[in-house]
Amino acid sequence: MRTQPVLVFDGDCGFCTTSVSFAQRWIKPRCDVTSRQCARLDALGVSRERAEYEALWITPAGTVYGGAQAVAKLLSSARGGWAVLGAVLQLAPIRWAAHGIYRVIAHNRHRLPGGTPACALPADRESVRD
């Protein structure tokens, strides 16, 4: 059984990889980090489709948070001001705004710094959960 949460991200996306590297270096979340391409998704209790759609935060008990809430959980696991920011991102209506901002970033990540055409969401995945 896992004792730490797991962050699952898109390892093929330059923007996602850069963001996770930043988080590991500066935010120092208390979690294991793996790309969806290397993760045993079935053992984590998530589908390939969901892992393709958004970053995931999976608790040791198996609760899965996606997108902006995964980011909020990552921040909450850190210390100091990062944890406060993570807690704020989990409050309504800020949570709703964070979801919208996450979706905009996810849909445009191939245009952001570090992004490449490989970062674009597959066309059939873009509207699955919006």
Domain contains 124: no
Has residue 23 got a pLDDT over 80? yes
58, two tokens = 């999976």
* CA–CA dist 48, 4 (Å, integer): 21
Task: Judge whether 5 and 77 are in contact, CB under 8 Å.
Answer: yes
Has residue 130 got a pLDDT over 60? no
Higher pLDDT, 15 or 50: 50
Average pLDDT over residues 60-64: 97
**Domain extent for 36:** 6-117
Mean pLDDT of the residues in the chain: 90
At residue 34, φ and ψ (nearest 5 deg) are: -150, 150
Domain contains 79: yes
- pTM for this model (two decimals): 0.88
Domain contains 129: no
Where does the pLDDT of residue 118 fall: very low under 50, low under 70, confident under 90, or very high at 90 and above?
low
* CA–CA dist 3, 1 (Å, integer): 7
Higher pLDDT, 115 or 11: 11
User: 80-99: per-residue pLDDT in tens?
Assistant: 999 999 999 999 999 999 99
Task: Quote the number of domains for the chain.
Answer: 1
Has residue 124 got a pLDDT over 60? no
Domain contains 127: no
Domain contains 95: yes
Domain contains 74: yes
Domain contains 130: no
Domain contains 123: no
- Return all residues near 24 (Cβ < 8 A) that are at least 6 apart: 33
